[in-house]
Amino acid sequence: MNLKSLSFSDYVVFLIYFVIVSSYGWWVYKRKHNADATSKDYFLAEGSLTWWAIGASLIASNISAEQFIGTSGSAFKMGLAISTYEWMAAITLIIVAVFFIPVYLKNKIFTMPQFLHQRYNGTVAMIMAIFWLLLYIVVNLMSILYLGALAVSGISGLDIHLCIWLLAIFSVIITLGGMKVIGYTDVIQVAVLVLGGLMATYLALTLLSEKEGTHGLLHGFTILRSEASDHFHMIFKKDNANYMDLPGLSVLIGGMWITNLNYWGCNQYITQRALGANLKTARGGILFAAFLKLLMPVIVVLPGIAAYLLYQKGMFHQEMMSSSGVLDPNKAYPSLLNLLPSGLKGLSFAALTAAIVASLAGKANSIATIFTLDIYKKAIDPEATDKKLVKLGKWSVVVAMVLGIILSELIGKALMGAGKQGFQYIQEYTGFVSPGIFAMFILGFFWKKATSNAAMFATIGGFVFSCFFKVLPRFADLSFLSPYGFSKLALQDDKVTKLYEIPFLDRMGFVFIICVIGMYIISKIDAARGTTTNGLEIDASMFKTSKGFLAGALIITGIVVALYSIFW
């Protein structure tokens, strides 16, 4: 059998998945659809999502091609350390549930630009709304489509361009039903992707044990720990080749916090799932998502490490090569799935598709929400009816997906091909705007004196300083800063140089500090001039949690601390 193909039984399994998801989505739409539904009801599923639907939808939207393909590829290259994105996210979700969500719900915030408009002014909100649209389409939508199609093509043998279109069409079908359909179908998507992901892990560990003449899952894991021990460290030293991607203790006390808090707490794409619920339901859903994040490395990281060891033992060398003959880590997960027997391969293929489609649908819905509620209604047609806004939102989904297709066709391969890690691409380029956005949000939350001029500085200055620190090492010898997180690049143009580059997580930390200091200074100057600010309704009682939530949070925190202690 051709490894890059699906058997009849695989197609049957995939068809069953497709029918179940589509039928359930249609049933949810018909059962919960209201002809007089408001735009907030369509975009946010206001009040209709349960805690388990919110938690499942958060994970389904987060775990996409960049997780299955990109994270597995990064695990192939750097090992368990890439799990820091997952385990730190579990702690981050607890922080968001305790401190961020109550502020949003108390002040009736439904979109991130709305928060900026309410806290600062309309100019800041409009600039960021346009900024977010560009980021979601150019970085996220394009990368999910390209990496997803790369995986689907690698497993099924279908042309990658056809796969891009098929994934986009499937996602549009799901998205047009609104957030209710997305939220509840994501429950099935998560169940399928977890089951399929666990099958891939089981296969990888079983293959390793069989190669050593033993049998069993635990034997395979023991072999993996023993023979790929260099892939089981969470914190890299400066002489490690992967230090630029995960710079030592910065993953615990530096830029990793900015990445996670901005993604989980200041991101329309994510927080949209909880903004339509009450506080208790929203917190329950976020805590459920935090528990699921602890499981994710088993599904997306261990297969990548196992693929690395299997590759070292002589398996799928040809399958791991790019068209230019370069080892491509992004092909680790698809190469592994191709070894599954018929039927199970179809299940894992369905899991991968579920992750891609759920993430695309969630991203497209957020794009439509921001464009419709924060740009069109605010700047173009303030008198637009809810019916018109819902219709415009559906068209926005289609237009955004077409743009994503065009971009993935034009620049996806150039940006993420030739052996580059797709997951790291997404993290680095999102990191150009994350520090400024997070500074603007965190001061907007908890410092009443932050002004709109200060927010404007963080918006524009954060991006400018990120670009500055990216290119600065090309023009300056920064060797004297090497003890403080700067990493030496030994070769450039085949000549030994003294060029130093800042790891992007450290760069994010530096820019965040600059943005906070700049916002403080500008706000003080504005205060001296008599500038007034728009405060939020905040009181200490908002941050109190139930005993059940506190117990769950302590369990999650204890597990994360234990994992870092074991794999330090």
Question: What pLDDT digit, counting tens, does each position of 226-253 carry?
Answer: 898 889 988 888 878 788 878 888 788 8
Buried (b) or exposed (e) across 245-276, using 16+ Cβ within 10 A? bbbbebbeebbbbbbbbbbbbbbbbbbbbbbb
Distance of CA 400 to the CA centre of its chain: 18
Tokens representing residue 224 in the block: 């993996």
Q: Please give the pLDDT value at position 511.
A: 92
What rounded mean pLDDT belongs to the chain? 79
In the 8-state DSSP scheme, what is residue 476? S
Residue 93 pLDDT class (50, 70, 90 cuts)? very high
Residue with tokens 């891939």: 200
In the 8-state DSSP scheme, what is residue 70? I
Has residue 179 got a pLDDT over 70?
no
Q: Please give the pLDDT value at position 183.
A: 62
Tell me the per-residue pLDDT of 495-529, one tens digit each, with 9 for 90 and over.
433 345 678 888 888 899 999 999 999 999 999 99
* Beta carbons within 8 Å of 537's beta carbon, 6+ residues apart: 106, 107
Query: What is the distance in angstroms between the CA of the first residue and the CA of the last residue of the chain?
Result: 42
Tell me the per-residue pLDDT of 270-312, one tens digit each, with 9 for 90 and over.
677 677 678 898 899 999 999 989 988 988 899 889 888 888 8
Q: Assign 3-class secondary structure to 501-552.
A: ECCHHHHHHHHHHHHHHHHHHHHHHHHHCCCCCCCCCCCHHHHCCCHHHHHH
266: left (phi over 0), alpha (psi -120 to 50) or beta: alpha
Has residue 33 got a pLDDT over 70?
no
Q: Please give the pLDDT value at position 497.
A: 39
Q: Please give the pLDDT value at position 518.
A: 96
Residue 92 pLDDT class (50, 70, 90 cuts)? very high
Beta pairing partners, 487 = 501
Has residue 105 got a pLDDT over 60?
yes
Q: Please give the pLDDT value at position 498.
A: 39
Q: Please give the pLDDT value at position 559.
A: 95
Query: Which whole number is the average pLDDT over 210-234?
Result: 84
**One-letter amino acid for residue 464 of the chain:** V
Domains (range + CATH), the chain: 8-30+45-426+549-567 (1.20.1730.10)
What is the rounded distance in angstroms from the CA atom of residue 453 to the CA atom of residue 526?
8
Q: What percent of the chain is predicted at pLDDT more than 90?
A: 16
> Residue 481, Cβ neighbours under 10 Å: how many?
13
Give the three-class secondary structure for 492: strand
Tell me the per-residue pLDDT of 368-422, one tens digit each, with 9 for 90 and over.
888 888 888 888 888 888 778 878 888 888 898 899 888 887 765 555 444 455 5
442: left (phi over 0), alpha (psi -120 to 50) or beta: alpha
| Between 227 and 325, residue with greater pLDDT | 227
| Between 457 and 63, residue with greater pLDDT | 457
